[in-house]
Structure 1
Amino acid sequence: MSSSKLHTLHKELVRAFASQPSDLKTSGRLLAELKVVLIETGLIFPQGEYSPRDLVIAREILEIGAFWSIRTRDVPSFDRYFSQLQTFYNDLRQVLCCPHPSYSTILPPSEREFPIRGLNLIRLLIQNRIADFHTTLESLPLPADELVANPFIRHPVNLERWLMEGSYSKVWNAREEAPAEEYKFFVDSLMGTIRNEIASCEEAAYESLPIKDAATLLFFKSLSELLEFAKERGWQVNLTEGVITFSQKGEEKLEIPKEKLIANNLIYARELEQIV
Protein backbone atom coordinates (compact mmCIF):
# COMPACT_ATOMS: atom_id res chain seq x y z
CA MET A 1 0.00 0.00 0.00
CA SER A 2 2.83 2.41 0.96
CA SER A 3 4.72 1.64 -2.27
CA SER A 4 1.64 2.39 -4.37
CA LYS A 5 1.12 5.66 -2.46
CA LEU A 6 4.79 6.53 -2.95
CA HIS A 7 4.54 6.20 -6.74
CA THR A 8 1.28 8.18 -6.93
CA LEU A 9 2.44 11.08 -4.78
CA HIS A 10 5.81 11.12 -6.54
CA LYS A 11 4.14 11.66 -9.92
CA GLU A 12 2.03 14.49 -8.46
CA LEU A 13 5.15 16.11 -6.98
CA VAL A 14 7.08 15.96 -10.25
CA ARG A 15 4.13 17.48 -12.09
CA ALA A 16 3.63 20.30 -9.54
CA PHE A 17 7.32 21.21 -9.31
CA ALA A 18 7.87 21.06 -13.09
CA SER A 19 4.95 23.39 -13.82
CA GLN A 20 5.74 26.90 -15.06
CA PRO A 21 6.04 28.57 -12.64
CA SER A 22 6.59 25.85 -10.06
CA ASP A 23 3.63 25.26 -7.77
CA LEU A 24 5.64 25.64 -4.56
CA LYS A 25 2.65 25.45 -2.24
CA THR A 26 1.44 22.12 -3.65
CA SER A 27 5.01 20.85 -3.83
CA GLY A 28 5.52 21.64 -0.15
CA ARG A 29 2.35 19.79 0.84
CA LEU A 30 3.31 16.75 -1.24
CA LEU A 31 6.85 16.72 0.13
CA ALA A 32 5.48 16.63 3.67
CA GLU A 33 3.26 13.65 2.79
CA LEU A 34 6.05 11.88 0.92
CA LYS A 35 8.45 12.29 3.82
CA VAL A 36 6.04 10.28 5.98
CA VAL A 37 5.80 7.59 3.29
CA LEU A 38 9.61 7.44 2.96
CA ILE A 39 9.89 6.94 6.71
CA GLU A 40 7.23 4.22 6.68
CA THR A 41 8.94 2.35 3.84
CA GLY A 42 12.44 2.86 5.29
CA LEU A 43 13.56 4.67 2.15
CA ILE A 44 14.55 7.95 3.79
CA PHE A 45 17.69 6.23 5.19
CA PRO A 46 17.64 2.93 3.27
CA GLN A 47 19.32 -0.07 4.85
CA GLY A 48 18.74 -3.40 3.18
CA GLU A 49 17.22 -4.67 -0.07
CA TYR A 50 15.10 -2.27 -2.14
CA SER A 51 14.08 -2.20 -5.78
CA PRO A 52 16.21 0.20 -7.88
CA ARG A 53 12.99 1.92 -9.01
CA ASP A 54 11.96 2.78 -5.44
CA LEU A 55 15.48 3.98 -4.64
CA VAL A 56 15.49 6.27 -7.70
CA ILE A 57 12.09 7.65 -6.72
CA ALA A 58 13.23 8.27 -3.14
CA ARG A 59 16.36 10.06 -4.38
CA GLU A 60 14.36 12.23 -6.77
CA ILE A 61 11.91 13.21 -4.01
CA LEU A 62 14.77 14.35 -1.78
CA GLU A 63 16.41 16.21 -4.68
CA ILE A 64 13.20 18.07 -5.49
CA GLY A 65 12.94 18.83 -1.77
CA ALA A 66 16.42 20.38 -1.83
CA PHE A 67 15.54 22.64 -4.79
CA TRP A 68 12.15 23.46 -3.26
CA SER A 69 13.93 24.57 -0.06
CA ILE A 70 16.08 27.05 -1.97
CA ARG A 71 13.14 28.43 -3.95
CA THR A 72 11.25 28.99 -0.70
CA ARG A 73 14.40 30.45 0.94
CA ASP A 74 14.52 27.80 3.65
CA VAL A 75 18.24 27.04 4.13
CA PRO A 76 17.81 24.75 7.20
CA SER A 77 15.42 22.62 5.13
CA PHE A 78 18.03 22.43 2.34
CA ASP A 79 20.59 21.23 4.91
CA ARG A 80 18.29 18.40 5.97
CA TYR A 81 17.53 17.26 2.43
CA PHE A 82 21.23 17.39 1.50
CA SER A 83 22.11 15.28 4.54
CA GLN A 84 19.47 12.70 3.59
CA LEU A 85 20.81 12.53 0.04
CA GLN A 86 24.27 11.45 1.19
CA THR A 87 23.15 7.80 1.36
CA PHE A 88 22.34 7.94 -2.37
CA TYR A 89 25.31 10.05 -3.48
CA ASN A 90 28.22 8.65 -1.50
CA ASP A 91 29.76 5.17 -1.55
CA LEU A 92 28.33 4.12 1.79
CA ARG A 93 28.01 0.36 2.43
CA GLN A 94 24.63 -1.00 3.45
CA VAL A 95 24.67 -1.50 7.20
CA LEU A 96 22.62 -4.70 7.17
CA CYS A 97 23.97 -6.14 3.92
CA CYS A 98 27.68 -5.38 3.81
CA PRO A 99 28.52 -7.76 0.89
CA HIS A 100 26.17 -5.86 -1.43
CA PRO A 101 27.34 -2.86 -3.46
CA SER A 102 26.61 0.68 -2.26
CA TYR A 103 23.42 2.40 -3.40
CA SER A 104 25.39 5.01 -5.36
CA THR A 105 26.89 2.27 -7.55
CA ILE A 106 23.67 0.36 -8.31
CA LEU A 107 21.64 3.48 -9.21
CA PRO A 108 21.92 5.39 -12.49
CA PRO A 109 23.60 8.82 -12.19
CA SER A 110 21.33 11.72 -11.28
CA GLU A 111 21.44 14.91 -13.34
CA ARG A 112 20.52 16.84 -10.18
CA GLU A 113 23.45 15.57 -8.10
CA PHE A 114 26.11 18.12 -9.02
CA PRO A 115 23.76 21.12 -9.10
CA ILE A 116 22.86 20.21 -5.50
CA ARG A 117 26.49 19.57 -4.52
CA GLY A 118 27.38 22.98 -5.98
CA LEU A 119 24.61 24.65 -3.97
CA ASN A 120 25.98 23.04 -0.84
CA LEU A 121 29.44 24.45 -1.57
CA ILE A 122 28.03 27.98 -1.89
CA ARG A 123 26.11 27.47 1.36
CA LEU A 124 29.42 26.74 3.09
CA LEU A 125 30.88 29.97 1.66
CA ILE A 126 27.95 32.01 2.98
CA GLN A 127 28.47 30.52 6.43
CA ASN A 128 32.21 31.36 6.16
CA ARG A 129 33.08 27.68 6.60
CA ILE A 130 36.11 27.84 4.31
CA ALA A 131 37.82 24.76 5.76
CA ASP A 132 34.62 22.71 5.28
CA PHE A 133 34.35 24.11 1.74
CA HIS A 134 37.78 22.75 0.78
CA THR A 135 37.25 19.44 2.56
CA THR A 136 33.93 18.95 0.76
CA LEU A 137 35.46 19.95 -2.57
CA GLU A 138 38.29 17.46 -2.19
CA SER A 139 35.86 14.65 -1.35
CA LEU A 140 33.77 15.08 -4.50
CA PRO A 141 33.68 11.93 -6.70
CA LEU A 142 35.31 13.61 -9.69
CA PRO A 143 38.91 13.91 -10.95
CA ALA A 144 40.45 17.38 -10.63
CA ASP A 145 40.17 18.17 -14.36
CA GLU A 146 36.48 17.21 -14.41
CA LEU A 147 35.78 19.39 -11.36
CA VAL A 148 36.99 22.45 -13.26
CA ALA A 149 34.94 21.45 -16.31
CA ASN A 150 31.72 20.94 -14.33
CA PRO A 151 29.81 24.29 -14.39
CA PHE A 152 27.98 23.55 -11.14
CA ILE A 153 31.26 23.06 -9.26
CA ARG A 154 33.30 25.65 -11.17
CA HIS A 155 30.86 28.39 -10.12
CA PRO A 156 31.37 28.05 -6.32
CA VAL A 157 35.12 27.47 -6.83
CA ASN A 158 35.36 30.79 -8.69
CA LEU A 159 33.27 32.52 -6.01
CA GLU A 160 35.62 31.30 -3.28
CA ARG A 161 38.71 32.49 -5.20
CA TRP A 162 37.19 35.93 -5.86
CA LEU A 163 36.18 36.30 -2.22
CA MET A 164 39.75 35.55 -1.11
CA GLU A 165 41.07 38.06 -3.66
CA GLY A 166 38.54 40.70 -2.61
CA SER A 167 37.21 40.85 -6.19
CA TYR A 168 33.68 41.65 -5.06
CA SER A 169 32.62 43.03 -8.44
CA LYS A 170 33.28 39.58 -9.97
CA VAL A 171 31.13 37.96 -7.26
CA TRP A 172 28.35 40.40 -8.08
CA ASN A 173 28.60 39.74 -11.83
CA ALA A 174 28.61 35.98 -11.17
CA ARG A 175 24.92 36.19 -10.28
CA GLU A 176 24.05 36.59 -13.95
CA GLU A 177 26.32 33.66 -14.85
CA ALA A 178 24.74 31.23 -12.39
CA PRO A 179 24.38 27.74 -13.91
CA ALA A 180 20.96 27.28 -12.27
CA GLU A 181 18.27 29.65 -10.99
CA GLU A 182 18.64 28.40 -7.41
CA TYR A 183 22.27 29.58 -7.34
CA LYS A 184 21.15 33.22 -7.53
CA PHE A 185 19.53 33.00 -4.08
CA PHE A 186 22.80 31.97 -2.46
CA VAL A 187 24.81 34.58 -4.43
CA ASP A 188 22.36 37.24 -3.19
CA SER A 189 22.94 36.03 0.37
CA LEU A 190 26.68 36.18 -0.24
CA MET A 191 26.38 39.76 -1.46
CA GLY A 192 24.63 40.66 1.80
CA THR A 193 27.71 39.53 3.72
CA ILE A 194 30.00 41.37 1.30
CA ARG A 195 28.02 44.61 1.61
CA ASN A 196 28.42 44.58 5.38
CA GLU A 197 32.18 44.11 4.98
CA ILE A 198 32.39 47.00 2.50
CA ALA A 199 30.20 49.17 4.75
CA SER A 200 32.53 48.59 7.71
CA CYS A 201 35.49 49.67 5.57
CA GLU A 202 33.65 52.81 4.42
CA GLU A 203 32.85 53.75 8.02
CA ALA A 204 36.50 53.37 8.97
CA ALA A 205 37.90 55.22 5.94
CA TYR A 206 35.44 58.10 5.36
CA GLU A 207 33.39 60.59 7.30
CA SER A 208 30.90 60.84 4.44
CA LEU A 209 30.35 59.87 0.82
CA PRO A 210 28.15 61.07 -2.03
CA ILE A 211 25.05 58.89 -2.24
CA LYS A 212 25.89 57.92 -5.82
CA ASP A 213 29.38 56.71 -4.85
CA ALA A 214 28.07 54.77 -1.85
CA ALA A 215 25.49 53.03 -4.05
CA THR A 216 28.19 52.05 -6.56
CA LEU A 217 30.55 50.70 -3.90
CA LEU A 218 27.75 48.67 -2.31
CA PHE A 219 26.38 47.34 -5.63
CA PHE A 220 22.92 48.86 -5.14
CA LYS A 221 20.91 49.55 -8.28
CA SER A 222 18.16 51.65 -6.67
CA LEU A 223 18.09 54.50 -4.15
CA SER A 224 15.42 52.77 -2.05
CA GLU A 225 17.70 49.75 -1.47
CA LEU A 226 20.55 52.01 -0.40
CA LEU A 227 18.33 54.04 1.96
CA GLU A 228 17.03 50.88 3.61
CA PHE A 229 20.60 49.63 4.10
CA ALA A 230 21.71 53.03 5.45
CA LYS A 231 18.88 52.95 7.99
CA GLU A 232 19.99 49.51 9.19
CA ARG A 233 23.57 50.76 9.64
CA GLY A 234 22.48 53.96 11.42
CA TRP A 235 23.87 56.26 8.72
CA GLN A 236 22.64 59.84 8.27
CA VAL A 237 21.31 60.54 4.77
CA ASN A 238 20.95 64.07 3.40
CA LEU A 239 18.95 63.75 0.18
CA THR A 240 19.14 67.50 -0.49
CA GLU A 241 22.93 67.53 -0.54
CA GLY A 242 23.16 63.97 -1.83
CA VAL A 243 25.50 62.83 0.94
CA ILE A 244 25.65 59.96 3.43
CA THR A 245 27.39 60.62 6.75
CA PHE A 246 28.79 57.70 8.68
CA SER A 247 27.85 58.53 12.26
CA GLN A 248 30.14 55.80 13.60
CA LYS A 249 33.15 57.59 12.14
CA GLY A 250 32.17 60.88 13.73
CA GLU A 251 31.64 59.29 17.13
CA GLU A 252 35.11 57.71 16.99
CA LYS A 253 36.73 61.06 16.20
CA LEU A 254 35.05 62.81 19.15
CA GLU A 255 36.55 60.26 21.53
CA ILE A 256 40.17 61.06 20.55
CA PRO A 257 41.69 63.37 23.27
CA LYS A 258 43.73 65.60 20.96
CA GLU A 259 44.88 68.16 23.56
CA LYS A 260 46.02 65.44 25.97
CA LEU A 261 47.98 63.69 23.21
CA ILE A 262 49.75 66.94 22.25
CA ALA A 263 50.63 67.69 25.89
CA ASN A 264 52.05 64.19 26.39
CA ASN A 265 54.14 64.47 23.22
CA LEU A 266 55.64 67.78 24.48
CA ILE A 267 56.55 66.17 27.81
CA TYR A 268 58.23 63.25 26.04
CA ALA A 269 60.15 65.67 23.82
CA ARG A 270 61.50 67.62 26.83
CA GLU A 271 62.52 64.38 28.57
CA LEU A 272 64.39 63.23 25.45
CA GLU A 273 66.25 66.56 25.32
CA GLN A 274 67.34 66.16 28.95
CA ILE A 275 68.55 62.60 28.28
CA VAL A 276 70.63 63.76 25.30
Structure 2
Amino acid sequence: MSTQQLSSLYGELTRSFDARPSDLNKCGKLLAQLKVALIETGLIFPQGDHKLEDLVAARDILEIGAFWSIRTKDVPSFDRYFSQLQTFYNDFSSVLPPSKREYPLRGLNLIRLLIQNRIADFHTTLESLPLPADELALNPYIRHPVNLEQWLMEGSYSKVWNAREEAPAEEYKFFVDSLIGTIRNEIASCEETAYESLPLKDAATLLFFKSQSELLEFAKQRGWQVNLTAGTVTFAHKGEEKMEIPKEKLIANDLHYARELEQIV
Protein backbone atom coordinates (compact mmCIF):
# COMPACT_ATOMS: atom_id res chain seq x y z
CA MET A 1 0.00 0.00 0.00
CA SER A 2 1.33 3.42 -0.96
CA THR A 3 1.86 6.23 1.51
CA GLN A 4 -0.91 8.17 -0.26
CA GLN A 5 -3.39 5.32 0.23
CA LEU A 6 -2.38 5.01 3.89
CA SER A 7 -2.93 8.74 4.36
CA SER A 8 -6.36 8.51 2.73
CA LEU A 9 -7.46 5.60 4.94
CA TYR A 10 -6.08 7.39 8.02
CA GLY A 11 -8.18 10.45 7.26
CA GLU A 12 -11.26 8.27 6.77
CA LEU A 13 -10.61 6.51 10.08
CA THR A 14 -10.27 9.80 11.94
CA ARG A 15 -13.57 11.09 10.54
CA SER A 16 -15.40 7.85 11.36
CA PHE A 17 -14.02 7.77 14.89
CA ASP A 18 -14.70 11.44 15.62
CA ALA A 19 -18.29 11.22 14.36
CA ARG A 20 -21.01 11.41 17.01
CA PRO A 21 -21.72 8.60 17.51
CA SER A 22 -18.60 6.90 16.19
CA ASP A 23 -19.08 4.48 13.32
CA LEU A 24 -17.51 1.52 15.11
CA ASN A 25 -18.16 -1.00 12.33
CA LYS A 26 -16.46 1.17 9.76
CA CYS A 27 -13.60 1.91 12.17
CA GLY A 28 -13.03 -1.82 12.64
CA LYS A 29 -12.75 -2.43 8.90
CA LEU A 30 -10.45 0.54 8.38
CA LEU A 31 -8.23 -0.47 11.30
CA ALA A 32 -7.77 -3.95 9.81
CA GLN A 33 -6.57 -2.40 6.55
CA LEU A 34 -4.40 0.19 8.25
CA LYS A 35 -2.61 -2.33 10.46
CA VAL A 36 -1.58 -4.25 7.37
CA ALA A 37 -0.35 -0.98 5.85
CA LEU A 38 1.63 -0.14 9.01
CA ILE A 39 3.30 -3.55 8.90
CA GLU A 40 4.17 -3.14 5.21
CA THR A 41 5.68 0.32 5.78
CA GLY A 42 7.59 -0.71 8.92
CA LEU A 43 5.60 1.67 11.12
CA ILE A 44 3.97 -0.86 13.44
CA PHE A 45 7.29 -1.19 15.32
CA PRO A 46 9.29 1.66 13.77
CA GLN A 47 13.05 1.45 13.51
CA GLY A 48 15.46 3.66 11.62
CA ASP A 49 14.45 6.85 9.87
CA HIS A 50 10.79 7.68 9.33
CA LYS A 51 9.09 10.95 8.56
CA LEU A 52 7.68 12.69 11.60
CA GLU A 53 4.20 12.91 10.10
CA ASP A 54 4.21 9.16 9.35
CA LEU A 55 5.14 8.36 12.97
CA VAL A 56 2.41 10.68 14.26
CA ALA A 57 -0.14 9.04 11.93
CA ALA A 58 0.92 5.55 13.02
CA ARG A 59 0.58 6.52 16.68
CA ASP A 60 -2.85 8.06 16.07
CA ILE A 61 -4.05 4.93 14.28
CA LEU A 62 -2.96 2.66 17.14
CA GLU A 63 -4.50 5.00 19.72
CA ILE A 64 -7.81 5.03 17.89
CA GLY A 65 -7.54 1.24 17.72
CA ALA A 66 -7.10 1.04 21.50
CA PHE A 67 -10.15 3.23 22.15
CA TRP A 68 -12.14 1.34 19.52
CA SER A 69 -11.29 -1.91 21.35
CA ILE A 70 -12.77 -0.59 24.61
CA ARG A 71 -15.88 0.74 22.90
CA THR A 72 -16.42 -2.68 21.32
CA LYS A 73 -15.60 -4.40 24.65
CA ASP A 74 -12.64 -6.30 23.23
CA VAL A 75 -10.03 -6.34 26.02
CA PRO A 76 -7.49 -8.63 24.26
CA SER A 77 -7.52 -6.21 21.30
CA PHE A 78 -6.89 -3.31 23.69
CA ASP A 79 -3.91 -5.20 25.12
CA ARG A 80 -2.40 -5.62 21.66
CA TYR A 81 -2.88 -2.00 20.63
CA PHE A 82 -1.50 -0.69 23.92
CA SER A 83 1.52 -2.98 23.65
CA GLN A 84 2.23 -1.65 20.14
CA LEU A 85 1.97 1.92 21.40
CA GLN A 86 4.81 1.44 23.90
CA THR A 87 7.40 2.01 21.19
CA PHE A 88 5.91 5.40 20.39
CA TYR A 89 5.38 6.42 24.02
CA ASN A 90 8.79 5.30 25.27
CA ASP A 91 11.29 5.18 22.42
CA PHE A 92 10.02 8.15 20.43
CA SER A 93 8.86 10.39 23.27
CA SER A 94 11.64 12.90 22.60
CA VAL A 95 10.87 13.01 18.88
CA LEU A 96 7.09 13.05 18.68
CA PRO A 97 4.83 15.86 19.90
CA PRO A 98 2.74 14.97 23.00
CA SER A 99 -0.46 13.04 22.38
CA LYS A 100 -3.67 14.03 24.16
CA ARG A 101 -4.69 10.36 24.11
CA GLU A 102 -1.57 9.01 25.83
CA TYR A 103 -2.54 9.41 29.48
CA PRO A 104 -6.18 8.44 29.03
CA LEU A 105 -4.86 5.17 27.55
CA ARG A 106 -2.22 4.75 30.25
CA GLY A 107 -4.95 5.17 32.87
CA LEU A 108 -7.14 2.58 31.13
CA ASN A 109 -4.23 0.17 31.12
CA LEU A 110 -3.79 0.64 34.88
CA ILE A 111 -7.46 -0.18 35.52
CA ARG A 112 -7.13 -3.24 33.28
CA LEU A 113 -4.31 -4.48 35.53
CA LEU A 114 -6.56 -3.98 38.58
CA ILE A 115 -9.36 -6.00 36.99
CA GLN A 116 -6.93 -8.84 36.31
CA ASN A 117 -5.71 -8.61 39.93
CA ARG A 118 -2.16 -7.89 38.73
CA ILE A 119 -1.37 -5.59 41.63
CA ALA A 120 2.42 -5.93 41.35
CA ASP A 121 2.26 -5.05 37.64
CA PHE A 122 -0.02 -2.12 38.52
CA HIS A 123 2.57 -0.60 40.85
CA THR A 124 5.48 -1.33 38.50
CA THR A 125 3.63 0.35 35.62
CA LEU A 126 2.67 3.30 37.82
CA GLU A 127 6.26 3.83 38.96
CA SER A 128 7.55 3.71 35.38
CA LEU A 129 5.27 6.51 34.12
CA PRO A 130 7.32 9.43 32.74
CA LEU A 131 5.86 12.03 35.10
CA PRO A 132 6.99 13.36 38.50
CA ALA A 133 4.97 12.11 41.48
CA ASP A 134 3.31 15.48 42.08
CA GLU A 135 2.16 15.69 38.44
CA LEU A 136 0.82 12.13 38.56
CA ALA A 137 -1.38 13.07 41.50
CA LEU A 138 -2.83 15.95 39.49
CA ASN A 139 -3.44 13.94 36.33
CA PRO A 140 -7.13 12.87 36.39
CA TYR A 141 -6.51 9.87 34.15
CA ILE A 142 -3.89 8.45 36.52
CA ARG A 143 -5.47 9.63 39.77
CA HIS A 144 -8.65 7.66 38.98
CA PRO A 145 -7.03 4.17 38.87
CA VAL A 146 -4.77 5.06 41.82
CA ASN A 147 -7.85 5.87 43.91
CA LEU A 148 -9.56 2.68 42.77
CA GLU A 149 -6.59 0.58 43.84
CA GLN A 150 -6.49 2.26 47.26
CA TRP A 151 -10.22 1.76 47.83
CA LEU A 152 -10.00 -1.87 46.78
CA MET A 153 -7.19 -2.49 49.27
CA GLU A 154 -9.24 -0.78 51.99
CA GLY A 155 -12.38 -2.72 51.08
CA SER A 156 -14.21 0.57 50.43
CA TYR A 157 -16.38 -0.94 47.72
CA SER A 158 -18.99 1.82 47.92
CA LYS A 159 -16.33 4.32 46.84
CA VAL A 160 -15.42 2.09 43.89
CA TRP A 161 -19.09 2.00 42.93
CA ASN A 162 -19.40 5.79 43.10
CA ALA A 163 -16.20 6.19 41.09
CA ARG A 164 -18.06 5.14 37.95
CA GLU A 165 -19.79 8.50 37.83
CA GLU A 166 -16.46 10.27 38.36
CA ALA A 167 -14.71 8.57 35.43
CA PRO A 168 -12.54 11.06 33.50
CA ALA A 169 -13.54 9.49 30.16
CA GLU A 170 -16.49 7.42 28.96
CA GLU A 171 -14.26 4.44 28.16
CA TYR A 172 -13.27 4.17 31.84
CA LYS A 173 -16.81 3.14 32.76
CA PHE A 174 -16.44 -0.14 30.87
CA PHE A 175 -13.49 -1.22 33.00
CA VAL A 176 -15.06 0.11 36.22
CA ASP A 177 -18.19 -1.95 35.43
CA SER A 178 -15.97 -5.02 35.03
CA LEU A 179 -14.35 -4.22 38.37
CA ILE A 180 -17.78 -3.92 39.99
CA GLY A 181 -18.65 -7.36 38.60
CA THR A 182 -15.57 -8.83 40.27
CA ILE A 183 -16.42 -7.08 43.54
CA ARG A 184 -20.02 -8.40 43.43
CA ASN A 185 -18.79 -11.95 43.13
CA GLU A 186 -16.42 -11.44 46.07
CA ILE A 187 -19.23 -10.01 48.22
CA ALA A 188 -21.59 -12.80 47.12
CA SER A 189 -19.06 -15.44 48.20
CA CYS A 190 -18.80 -13.77 51.62
CA GLU A 191 -22.58 -13.66 51.95
CA GLU A 192 -22.86 -17.35 51.12
CA THR A 193 -20.37 -18.15 53.87
CA ALA A 194 -21.70 -15.77 56.53
CA TYR A 195 -25.48 -16.10 56.10
CA GLU A 196 -28.08 -18.72 55.35
CA SER A 197 -30.48 -16.11 53.99
CA LEU A 198 -31.01 -12.35 53.73
CA PRO A 199 -33.91 -10.01 52.97
CA LEU A 200 -33.95 -9.18 49.28
CA LYS A 201 -33.57 -5.48 50.01
CA ASP A 202 -30.44 -6.01 52.11
CA ALA A 203 -28.90 -8.34 49.53
CA ALA A 204 -29.52 -5.79 46.77
CA THR A 205 -27.93 -3.02 48.84
CA LEU A 206 -24.84 -5.08 49.67
CA LEU A 207 -24.39 -5.99 46.00
CA PHE A 208 -24.99 -2.46 44.68
CA PHE A 209 -28.05 -3.40 42.65
CA LYS A 210 -30.51 -0.61 41.95
CA SER A 211 -33.43 -2.84 41.00
CA GLN A 212 -34.84 -6.14 42.18
CA SER A 213 -34.77 -7.56 38.65
CA GLU A 214 -30.97 -7.18 38.56
CA LEU A 215 -30.68 -9.01 41.88
CA LEU A 216 -32.97 -11.80 40.69
CA GLU A 217 -30.87 -12.35 37.58
CA PHE A 218 -27.70 -12.42 39.67
CA ALA A 219 -29.31 -14.82 42.17
CA LYS A 220 -30.24 -17.15 39.32
CA GLN A 221 -26.63 -17.19 38.10
CA ARG A 222 -25.38 -18.02 41.62
CA GLY A 223 -28.00 -20.71 42.19
CA TRP A 224 -29.69 -18.89 45.07
CA GLN A 225 -33.29 -19.59 46.07
CA VAL A 226 -35.54 -16.52 46.03
CA ASN A 227 -38.83 -16.33 47.93
CA LEU A 228 -40.67 -13.30 46.59
CA THR A 229 -43.56 -13.78 48.99
CA ALA A 230 -41.32 -13.72 52.06
CA GLY A 231 -38.95 -11.24 50.43
CA THR A 232 -35.85 -13.33 51.14
CA VAL A 233 -32.99 -14.96 49.30
CA THR A 234 -31.49 -18.22 50.55
CA PHE A 235 -27.92 -18.94 49.61
CA ALA A 236 -26.80 -22.17 48.03
CA HIS A 237 -24.30 -23.75 50.41
CA LYS A 238 -21.98 -26.40 49.18
CA GLY A 239 -22.55 -29.62 51.02
CA GLU A 240 -19.88 -30.40 53.55
CA GLU A 241 -17.47 -32.93 52.23
CA LYS A 242 -17.86 -36.17 54.10
CA MET A 243 -14.67 -37.95 54.96
CA GLU A 244 -15.05 -41.68 55.29
CA ILE A 245 -12.84 -43.06 58.04
CA PRO A 246 -11.66 -46.62 57.33
CA LYS A 247 -12.43 -47.88 60.84
CA GLU A 248 -11.71 -51.58 60.23
CA LYS A 249 -8.37 -50.81 58.60
CA LEU A 250 -7.33 -48.52 61.46
CA ILE A 251 -8.28 -51.12 64.09
CA ALA A 252 -6.34 -53.81 62.21
CA ASN A 253 -3.29 -51.56 62.02
CA ASP A 254 -3.53 -50.73 65.74
CA LEU A 255 -3.68 -54.44 66.63
CA HIS A 256 -0.70 -55.12 64.40
CA TYR A 257 1.37 -52.38 66.07
CA ALA A 258 0.30 -53.63 69.51
CA ARG A 259 1.52 -57.17 68.73
CA GLU A 260 4.86 -55.82 67.51
CA LEU A 261 5.27 -53.80 70.71
CA GLU A 262 4.57 -56.91 72.81
CA GLN A 263 7.24 -58.84 70.93
CA ILE A 264 9.74 -56.01 71.46
CA VAL A 265 9.00 -55.88 75.19
- What TM-score, normalized by structure 1, do the two folds share? 0.86
For residues 141 and 135 of structure 1, what CA distance do their matches in structure 2 show? 12
For residues 214 and 245 of structure 1, what CA distance do their matches in structure 2 show? 10
For residues 224 and 14 of structure 1, what CA distance do their matches in structure 2 show? 40
Alignment map for 1:46-57 (pairs within 5 Å): 46-57=46-57
Where structure 2 has 5 or more consecutive residues not aligned to the other structure, the ranges are 244-265
For residues 25 and 223 of structure 1, what CA distance do their matches in structure 2 show? 35
1:204-227, CA deviations, whole angstroms, 9 ceiling, x for partnerless residues? 111100111101100011222111
Corresponding position: 1:71 with 2:71:
yes
Code of the aligned partner of 2:165: E
Aligned equivalent of 1:241: 230
SS in 2 for 1:248: coil
Of 199, 207, 210, the residue aligned with 1:218 is 207
Consecutive aligned runs of 4 or more in structure 1 exceeding 6 Å deviation: none
Alignment map for 1:66-145 (pairs within 5 Å): 66-90=66-90, 92=91, 103-145=92-134
1:170-192, CA deviations, whole angstroms, 9 ceiling, x for partnerless residues? 00000000000000000000001
Alignment map for 1:193-204 (pairs within 5 Å): 193-204=182-193
For residues 220 and 25 of structure 2, what CA distance do their matches in structure 1 show? 34
Code of the aligned partner of 2:51: S
Aligned equivalent of 2:154: 165
RMSD: 1.4
For residues 145 and 85 of structure 1, what CA distance do their matches in structure 2 show? 25
Corresponding position: 1:32 with 2:32:
yes
Aligned equivalent of 2:43: 43
Asked whether the 8 Å contact 1:2–1:40 carries over to 2, the reply is no
SS in 2 for 1:50: coil
Alignment map for 1:226-265 (pairs within 5 Å): 226-248=215-237, 251-252=239-240
SS in 1 for 2:47: coil
SS in 2 for 1:209: strand
State the shift of 1:247 in Å: 2.0
Aligned equivalent of 1:23: 23
For residues 9 and 211 of structure 2, what CA distance do their matches in structure 1 show? 44
Where structure 1 has 5 or more consecutive residues not aligned to the other structure, the ranges are 93-102, 257-276
